[in-house]
Amino acid sequence: MAEVTLKGIEKTYPNGFKAVHGVDLNIREGEFMVFVGPSGCAKSTTLRMIAGLEDISEGDVYIGDRRVNDLPPKDRGISMVFQNYALYPHMSVYENMAFGLKQQKLAKAEVEQRIAEAAKTLDIEHLLKNKPGEMSGGQRQRVALGRAMVRKPDVFLFDEPLSNLDAKLRVSTRVSIAQLHNDLKAEGQNATMIYVTHDQVEAMTLGDRICVLNQGQIMQVDTPMNLYQYPANKFVAGFIGSPAMNIIKVRIDDIDGVMNVIAESGHRWELPKQKQGLARQRTGEWVWFGVRPEHIQLASDFTSPCEVNTQRHKIDVVESMGNELYLYFQLGGDRMISRIPFDADRLVSGGDSALLKFRVSQCHLFDLDTEETLGQEPVGLKRP
């Protein structure tokens, strides 16, 4: 059981490339923290510094109250699970799981008991005699999880553990990892988990909190819902959520005392009440305007095309997800996406023109240069 604290962590690789630029983060005891960000943003580098697999150029890493910068990996109370399983091919599942424990010189009975428990939890009891080569990717990853579990670490470190699995296994193994975290908590073990992924769906579903990284810097740390509802900047807004938020350049305009935003294409939206004040201070300025796909809906058949924030657009492409549709349309030079529930009575096809209602009460505005979020949170929604 341990919290993990990063203080001013930096990493410069021997070739001079600076991958991590001053990361400060406290991961609470028992917390499931996800590092998410695009490929190359230094998720693995940061995780490997916590693990002790990579030197720390600047700053300090604490696990519990111990500064671990100079401790070898085996003394840090961590277990790591990698994308490529890293199992010993010539050993059976049982031997793979027992290997680290034997090195710790644990009694045989204790080793047997821990492996039996983990195998039961992960549903791999029937595989204990198999070699890794005789198993599917999903089974191998369960074994790798089991090998991490039996060490009873204070901190689990995961580096994209599901990336090699097909879509279905990815989901079921993801649920197993969430279950493992819950089970350990219920047993009072309260294991801290740090989980690296480039997949924002994994991040959203697994994380108690998510740390969004970009180019070796933290963009925002918060709960999944807060990241979604209150992105601190344009990067987080565009990264969290699928399909991604529509973000276009607009000018703030005062139309008869009511603040609007106007795109280069000439399309115009009236801003909601809670954004009127801050927009007024920036009259005439260009900003980024963000609207999530689910906040662009088909207007009802009875809606007047003149109604506020309602616009007619030619739908270029319709993608059907079964339960919902993605409508793509062009707004000046920007491709926009609307996400609507499937309704058999109101079919839309590519080439159709559709009346779309923008629900701007949950729109976002970002400074054009700093890309930081402008203004306050939506009324009625409180941050914890």
User: Residues interacting with Mg ion, by CB under 5 A?
Assistant: 44
Count of chain residues binding ligand ADP (CB under 6 A): 12
Q: Return the range that interacts with ligand ADP (CB under 6 A); candidates 39-47, 59-67, 226-234, 318-326.
A: 39-47
Cβ of residue 219: shortest distance to Mg ion, in angstroms? 17
Does residue 42 touch ligand ADP according to CB under 6 A? yes
Q: CB under 8 Å, gap of 24 or more: what pairs does 94-101 form?
A: 94/128, 94/129, 96/132, 96/143, 96/147, 97/143, 97/146, 97/147, 97/150, 98/150, 99/147, 100/147, 100/150, 100/151, 101/150, 101/151
13's contact among ligand ADP, Mg ion, none, with CB below 5 to 8 A by partner kind, is ligand ADP
Closest CA to 364 of 235, 253, 223, 202: 235
Does residue 103 touch ligand ADP according to CB under 6 A? no
CA distance 237 to 364: 9
Cβ of residue 39: shortest distance to ligand ADP, in angstroms? 4
45's contact among ligand ADP, Mg ion, none, with CB below 5 to 8 A by partner kind, is ligand ADP
Which of 8, 26, 40, 381 lies at the binding interface for ligand ADP (CB under 6 A)?
Answer: 40
Closer residue to ligand ADP in complex, CB, 13/342: 13
Cβ of residue 19: shortest distance to Mg ion, in angstroms? 11
Which of 2, 5, 45, 148 lies at the binding interface for ligand ADP (CB under 6 A)?
Answer: 45
Does residue 337 touch ligand ADP according to CB under 6 A? no
Asked if residue 243 has a cis previous peptide bond (ω within 30° of 0), the answer is: yes
41's contact among ligand ADP, Mg ion, none, with CB below 5 to 8 A by partner kind, is ligand ADP
Closer residue to ligand ADP in complex, CB, 82/358: 82
103's contact among ligand ADP, Mg ion, none, with CB below 5 to 8 A by partner kind, is none
Q: Taking CB under 6 A as the criterion, which residues in 6-35 touch ligand ADP? A: 13, 15, 17, 19
Which tokens go with 174? 């993801």
How far, rounded to the nearest angstrom, does the alpha carbon of residue 333 sit from its chain's CA centroid? 28
**What torsion, rounded to 10 degrees, do the Cα atoms 114, 120, 121, 126 define?**
120
Residue, CB closest to Mg ion:
44
Which residues, 6+ apart, have CB-to-CB distance to 183 below 8 Å?
A: 121
Q: Which residues bind ligand ADP (CB under 6 A)?
A: 13, 15, 17, 19, 37, 39-45
